Amino acid sequence: MSSARILVVDDEADIRSLLEEILSEEGYAVVAAANAAEARERYAKDSPDLVLLDIWMPDVDGITLLREWSAAKSARQCPVVMMSGHGTVETAVEATRLGAVDFIEKPVSLAKLLRTVERALEADRAGGKGGRGLVPQSTAPVGHSRAMQALREQAERVAGHATNVLVTGEAGSGRELFARYIHSMGPRARGPFVRLVASAMQDAGAEAALFGRAFQGNIEPGLLERAQGGTLFIKNLHDLGAESQRLLLGAFESGRYKPLGGDVARPLDARIIASAPPGFERSPPAGLRQELLMYLAVVVLTVPPLREYPEDVPDLLRHYLDKLVDSQGLAYRRFSVAAQNRLRNYPWPGNVRELRNLVHRLLILGGDEEIGLGEVEQALSETAPPDEPLLSQDLMALPLREAREQFERAYLQQQLQLCEGKVGRLAKRVGMERTHLYRKLRALGIDFRSGGSDD
Check residues 434 and 52 and name the one with the higher pLDDT.
Answer: 52
pLDDT for residue 114 is more than 50: yes
Contacts of 94 (CB under 8 A, 6+ apart): 63, 332
What percent of the chain stands above pLDDT 70? Answer: 88
Contact 78, 48 (CB under 8 A): yes
d(CA 320, CA 327): 10
Number of H helices, E strands in the chain: 18, 16
What does the longest C-alpha to C-alpha distance in the chain come to?
80
| CATH H-level superfamily of 146-303 | P-loop containing nucleotide triphosphate hydrolases (3.40.50.300)
d(CA 7, CA 81): 10
By C-alpha distance, which of 354, 8, 443 is closest to 173?
Answer: 354
Give the CATH class of 5-127.
alpha beta
d(CA 323, CA 309): 21
pLDDT band for 81, please (50, 70, 90 cuts). Answer: very high
Domain range list for the chain:
5-127, 146-303, 307-383, 400-451
**For range 400-422, the mean pLDDT:** 80
For 400-451, CATH number out of 1.10.220.10, 1.10.357.10, 1.10.10.60, 1.10.287.1770 equals 1.10.10.60
pLDDT for residue 450 is more than 60: no
Question: How do residues 236-286 score in pLDDT, each as one tens digit?
Answer: 999 999 999 999 999 999 999 999 988 889 999 999 999 999 989 988 888
